[in-house]
C-alpha cells in the first residue's frame, strides 16, 4: 500500500490555503473527536504558524467523553484553544465565540492600544474532508449573519461572514488532506468513514474493528450482539452474522452483511461513545 501520493488538486488546495492564511488571524481547525490525531494533518502547524489556533473537537457526541477531555488537555498543553462540539445538534456552539475572543484577546488589545478601531478578528475553518466543516459553518454562522462581501485588498471572490462586531469568518473552509503516517492512521480514518472504504475491504475493516473494540472497549460487542468476545476476531464476526440473522439468498450466513452492519452501527454511535485513539 502506498498512500504517499500527492495529486495536483491537493497541491493546488495547499497553495490556496497559503494565500488564505495571509488574510486571517485565527485558524479554526476541526478534528474528529473519535480520532483526534489521525484526523489532523500536521502540515497545518506549519501553514498556520504565527496564527492563533483553535481546535474544535467535533462529533464529540460519538466519542468517549473521558477521552475527549484527555485530548482537550493534550491540545491545550500544546498551546491550542479547544472547544468540544457537536456541530449537528449545535451542542457546544455557545462556547465558540467566547473562546475565539479569548484566543484573539492579545490582538484586539494590541489594536486598541494602537488606536485601531473596528478591525475584526478574521478566522478560517480548516479540516480534512467529512469532519464537519460545512455543518459547522452553516450552523454557527447560519443565516442570521449577513455576508459582508468583497472588501478592498481581499482576494476577489472571498466572502466574509460577520459573526459579530468583532469576528469575521471566511465562508469557504480550507480542506486538509489526511496524512497517512502509518497503517493505523489509514485504518482509523476508514473506520470513521472519512475516506473511501477502499483501503481494506469491508470484511477486513470489520475484523480490525472487532480487534480494536475487544481490546479497548471490552463488553461492547457482547452487550450489543450477545457474542462471546473470548474467541478469534473472525469467529466473533461469524457470531454477529448468526445473532443478527445476516443471510445470503441461499440462506447461508453472510459475513459481509454482518461486517457492513457492524461498521454502520459503529459509525452511527449505536455501539456507544467510542474513541479509537488514546492520548499517549
Contacts with ligand GDP, residue ranges (CB under 6 A)? 58-59, 61-62, 86-88, 127, 129-135
The CA distance from 32 to 275, in Å, is: 10
CB of 64 to ligand GDP, least distance (A): 14
* Nearer Cβ to ligand GDP (179/207): 179
* Nearer Cβ to ligand GDP (192/227): 192
The answer to whether the annotation marks 133 as part of a ligand binding site is: yes
The CA distance from 156 to 65, in Å, is: 42
The answer to whether the annotation marks 92 as part of a ligand binding site is: no
* Nearer Cβ to ligand GDP (7/215): 7
Residue 64: CB atoms within 10 Å: 20
CB of 46 to ligand GDP, least distance (A): 21
* Nearer Cβ to ligand GDP (47/195): 195
- How many degrees, rounded to 5, is the angle at CA 20 between CA 14 and CA 24? 135
- Diameter of the chain by CA atoms? 78
CB of 172 to ligand GDP, least distance (A): 10
The answer to whether the annotation marks 131 as part of a ligand binding site is: yes
The answer to whether the annotation marks 260 as part of a ligand binding site is: no
* Nearer Cβ to ligand GDP (61/204): 61
* Sequence-separated contacts (24+) of 92-98 with Cβ below 8 Å: 92/60, 93/139, 93/140, 96/56, 96/140, 97/163, 97/164, 97/167
CB of 126 to ligand GDP, least distance (A): 9
Q: What pairing do the DSSP bridges indicate for beta strands 167-170 and 121-127?
A: parallel
CB of 30 to ligand GDP, least distance (A): 7
Q: Which residues pair with 179 in a beta bridge?
A: none
The answer to whether the annotation marks 130 as part of a ligand binding site is: yes
The CA distance from 71 to 73, in Å, is: 5
The answer to whether the annotation marks 132 as part of a ligand binding site is: yes
Q: Report the binding-site residues for GTP.
A: 58-61, 130-135, 174
Amino acid at each position: 500500500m502506498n498512500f504517499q501520493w500527492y495529486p495536483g488538486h491537493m497541491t493546488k488546495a495547499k497553495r490556496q490555503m497559503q494565500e488564505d492564511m495571509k488574510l486571517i488571524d485565527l485558524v479554526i481547525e476541526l478534528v474528529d473527536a473519535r480520532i483526534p490525531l489521525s484526523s489532523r494533518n500536521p502540515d497545518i502547524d506549519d501553514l498556520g504558524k504565527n496564527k492563533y489556533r483553535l481546535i474544535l473537537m467535533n462529533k464529540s457526541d460519538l466519542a468517549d467523553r473521558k477521552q475527549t477531555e484527555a485530548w482537550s488537555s493534550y491540545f491545550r498543553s500544546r498551546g491550542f484553544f479547544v472547544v468540544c462540539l457537536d456541530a449537528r445538534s449545535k451542542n457546544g456552539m455557545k462556547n465558540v465565540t467566547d473562546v475565539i475572543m479569548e484566543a484573539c484577546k492579545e490582538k484586539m488589545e494590541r489594536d486598541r492600544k494602537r488606536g485601531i478601531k473596528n478591525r475584526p478578528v478574521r478566522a478560517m475553518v480548516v479540516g480534512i474532508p467529512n469532519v464537519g466543516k460545512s455543518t459547522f459553518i452553516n450552523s454557527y454562522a447560519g443565516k442570521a449573519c449577513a455576508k459582508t462581501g468583497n472588501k478592498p485588498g481581499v482576494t476577489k471572490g472571498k466572502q466574509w461572514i460577520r459573526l459579530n462586531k468583532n469576528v469575521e469568518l471566511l465562508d469557504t473552509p480550507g480542506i486538509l488532506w489526511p496524512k497517512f503516517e502509518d497503517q493505523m492512521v489509514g485504518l482509523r480514518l476508514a473506520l470513521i468513514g472519512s475516506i473511501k472504504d477502499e483501503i481494506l475491504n469491508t470484511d477486513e475493516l470489520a475484523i480490525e474493528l472487532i480487534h480494536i473494540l475487544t481490546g479497548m472497549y471490552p463488553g461492547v460487542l457482547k452487550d450489543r450482539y450477545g457474542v462471546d468476545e473470548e474467541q478469534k476476531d473472525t469467529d466473533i464476526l461469524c457470531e454477529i452474522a448468526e445473532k443478527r440473522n445476516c443471510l445470503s439468498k441461499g440462506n447461508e450466513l453472510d459475513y459481509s452483511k454482518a461486517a457492513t452492519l457492524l461498521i454502520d452501527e459503529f459509525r452511527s454511535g449505536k455501539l456507544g461513545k467510542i474513541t479509537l485513539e488514546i492520548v499517549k
